Chain A
Amino acid sequence: MILVLSGEGPTDIGTQEQVVTGWEFAPGPMAWIIDKLLEQKTNYSLLELNANGGDCVDFLNEGELAALRGSKPFFLPRGDDTPGNVSLRKGAYLLGKHAKGIVSERNSPVIAVFFRDADRTNSTPRTEWEGKFAAMIQGFVRADFQSGVPMIPRPKSEAWMLCGLLKGTNAKEDCDWLEDESGNDDSPKSLKGQLADHLHYRPTRDQQSELVSGGEIDPTLIDLPSFIAFRDELDRAYANAAPPLN
């Protein structure tokens, strides 16, 4: 199986880092969440396999995703779109097209995950988040790719991380309030700040990744609605992932 990933920055899906032999994917905490959920089905870690030369993760940064854009098709907003939905739909379309190409090129099942924060500046109304989630699905559908997954934390990835940590301490902890917090990092009650307060340190990308890969955050315990929607789509994508032709 091949995992195709695209995100916004190093602290979500991850980034490419230069190593002696070239470029290597350095996974962020969201990539580890995807990996942990898929590991339950595949019984192996795609990220670990990739780190050991398995060539099973294809990461595209924003520039690489943009480079896939041709002059057509032209995406227009739909009637109920809020600003930003067109770029989510188009991004998912480009990623889906790319993933579809890998399916035929490598003769292997492929799952593509497209990550975006719901909002970096405000709290995001639920209906608006639903529109964004639907826009990504529409983009994958337009690319005729059945195994595309929208990953849109509401309002941002730190809410999922905090929920995972709180649930780790008390599985009955109600975390739903986290989805109504502000996505603005400059706000006095920012989720970044709350995560740092909870951990008693401001975690780096590697430390956040370690929280998931090391097991302190168990993704199966996270039950925020935006996470469940993502997890359900990941399950569906896994079921749809095209089996090898031979």
Chain B
Amino acid sequence: MIRRIQIDNFKSLDGFSLPPVGTQPLANFTCLIGANGSGKTSVLQVLDFLCYFMRGDIRAWLKDRGWEDDRLSSSFDSSPVDLFKASILIQLDPSTQAEWSVHYNLYTSECYEEKIVINGDTFLEVKDGDVTILEGNGPPRIFTELSLRGSALEALQVGPAPNPLRVIKELFSNNIATFELFSPHAVKRHSPHSKNMGKRGENLAGFAADLGTAIQRRISDRMREFYPSIQNVQVADDRELKSFFLFESENFLREVVYSPHFSDGFTRILAIVTQVESSNVSNRVLLLDEVEDGIHPEVMAKLIDYLVNSNTQVIATTHSPLILNYLTDDQARKSVLFLYRNWEGRSRSCRYFDLPSAKSKLGILGPGEVYVDTSIEQLIREAEEMERGASAQAGAVAQ
């Protein structure tokens, strides 16, 4: 599970930490709120970027979006080197925390530095092409003058899980599913069998086809909980061995509906449920952009309940007060993070219900009601005040 994300030089994320340093780490369910352009989607993008970095394939990530390298660098970075920096705190198990840090040159597409520290011990260190790997009690493995396009973990062999380096590699290579570019239309098309769902949702049926009957039955049962008027969500293959979904309606016609005719909201829920139910690992992360898109409020209430109680970590962005209102007050205090641009234009985060205007209303109002009843300008002023206070405190400690 990802517990803290610190980023420099990625779009508006510069000197950015989610949640702020010195505060409680991210919960298993995190909801990002804030004005348009505050950096919510950039948080999901940077995590997806790190997945491609782990696979050593940043070019593919850019190609997916039709972006050039120069679109990534933040305009705040004045250094001659276009250096992207990330530091990710990862909870591997209840007693093991890893800090994965990366320095990557956005201009030359080279990894300058990479380090993985687990419970205070360095397991991996990359500096200017020289890699040192320390696993267990064996001697360090040293590789020199490597040209790394991404993580050293991709370029070099590491032992199988539960080796923590392998777990981190697996998490970022395979276990983070992003819905940032999700398009229901991509799901509706028949798809070849596949190891995973594509960025836009393509190959979802092909992915579900190979999951086995037990998981497929779980997916069908969950879908029925969301939509009691349907039954038997199934995956089938067409003559070209391409997969598609279908379900049976519980109306008197017993009408069968095929994936090209699914509603967008249904398709979205199906994709989320498939991702959650297919997961047999505890380290699984879903990134959901504007989670409410196309989903009926009653189904949304069930979805939030389902996600909050799943073993999967969820980081979702939303503009919907209803979603926040489906959280209990205690969940909302932990899970709702407010993103804003500070006086310099940099994205910053804080816990929404730490802000005095929001905190004072939570109780008489539910979390979503507070959200619609509080001026965003006022909240930004309060967040900036808190940020200045924290900086002054940090400065005083440093002296």
Interface positions of B (Cβ within 8 A of A):
321-322, 325, 361, 363-366, 368-370, 372-375, 378
Closest residue of chain A to B376 (Cβ to Cβ) is A83
A residues less than 8 Å from B325 (CB atoms): 71, 74
For B364, give its contact among A66, A77, A83 (CB under 8 Å). Answer: A66
Mark interface residues in A84-113 (1 if CB within 8 Å of B CB, else 0).
Answer: 111100110010000000000000000000
Closest residue of chain A to B301 (Cβ to Cβ) is A71
A residues less than 8 Å from B374 (CB atoms): 83-84
Question: Does A75 sit within 8 A of B, measured CB to CB?
Answer: yes
Q: How far does the alpha carbon of A152 sit from the alpha carbon of B74 in the complex, in Å?
A: 48
Question: Does A196 sit within 8 A of B, measured CB to CB?
Answer: no
B residues less than 8 Å from A71 (CB atoms): 325, 366
Known contacts A63-B363, A66-B363, A74-B325; A86 and B378 CB within 8 A of each other: no
A74 touches B363 (CB 8 A): no
Closest residue of chain A to B379 (Cβ to Cβ) is A83
Q: How far does the alpha carbon of A75 sit from the alpha carbon of B361 in the complex, in Å?
A: 13
A83 touches B366 (CB 8 A): no
B366 touches A69 (CB 8 A): yes
A-B residue pairs in contact (CB < 8 Å), sample of 19: A66-B363, A66-B364, A69-B363, A71-B325, A71-B366, A74-B322, A74-B368, A74-B369, A75-B369, A76-B372, A84-B373, A85-B373, A86-B373, A87-B364, A87-B365, A87-B369, A87-B370, A90-B369, A94-B364
For the residues of B in contact with A, the DSSP-based class is helix
Among A74, A76, A84, A91, find the residue whose CB has the most chain B CB atoms closer than 10 A. A74
Interface positions of A (Cβ within 8 A of B):
62-63, 65-66, 69, 71, 74-77, 83-87, 90-91, 94
Q: How far does the alpha carbon of A85 sit from the alpha carbon of B370 in the complex, in Å?
A: 10
A62 touches B373 (CB 8 A): no
Which A-B residue pairs are the 6 nearest by beta carbons?
Answer: A66-B363, A86-B373, A83-B375, A66-B364, A87-B361, A91-B364
Known contacts A83-B373, A83-B375, A83-B378; A76 and B321 CB within 8 A of each other: yes
A residues less than 8 Å from B322 (CB atoms): 74
Q: How far does the alpha carbon of A87 sit from the alpha carbon of B368 in the complex, in Å?
A: 12
A residues less than 8 Å from B370 (CB atoms): 87
Among B321, B363, B364, find the residue whose CB has the most chain A CB atoms closer than 10 A. B364
B364 touches A69 (CB 8 A): yes
B residues less than 8 Å from A94 (CB atoms): 364
A83-B378, A85-B373 known; 9 other A-B pairs, CB under 8 Å? A71-B325, A71-B366, A76-B372, A77-B372, A84-B373, A87-B364, A87-B370, A87-B373, A90-B365
Q: How far does the alpha carbon of A76 sit from the alpha carbon of B324 in the complex, in Å?
A: 13
A residues less than 8 Å from B368 (CB atoms): 74
A77 touches B366 (CB 8 A): no
B residues less than 8 Å from A74 (CB atoms): 322, 325, 366, 368-369
Q: How far does the alpha carbon of A71 sit from the alpha carbon of B321 in the complex, in Å?
A: 13
Q: How far does the alpha carbon of A66 sit from the alpha carbon of B364 in the complex, in Å?
A: 4
Known contacts A74-B322, A74-B325, A76-B321; A86 and B363 CB within 8 A of each other: no
A residues less than 8 Å from B378 (CB atoms): 83
Q: How far does the alpha carbon of A94 sit from the alpha carbon of B366 in the complex, in Å?
A: 13
Q: How far is the CB of A21 from the nearest CB of chain B, in Å?
A: 28
Q: How far does the alpha carbon of A62 sit from the alpha carbon of B363 in the complex, in Å?
A: 8
Closest residue of chain A to B326 (Cβ to Cβ) is A71
Q: How far does the alpha carbon of A77 sit from the alpha carbon of B370 in the complex, in Å?
A: 10
Q: How far does the alpha carbon of A46 sit from the alpha carbon of B325 in the complex, in Å?
A: 39
Q: How far does the alpha carbon of A50 sit from the alpha carbon of B361 in the complex, in Å?
A: 30
Q: How far does the alpha carbon of A87 sit from the alpha carbon of B370 in the complex, in Å?
A: 8
B364 touches A62 (CB 8 A): yes
Q: How far does the alpha carbon of A84 sit from the alpha carbon of B358 in the complex, in Å?
A: 10
Among B368, B373, B374, find the residue whose CB has the most chain A CB atoms closer than 10 A. B373
A residues less than 8 Å from B373 (CB atoms): 77, 83-87
B residues less than 8 Å from A69 (CB atoms): 363-366
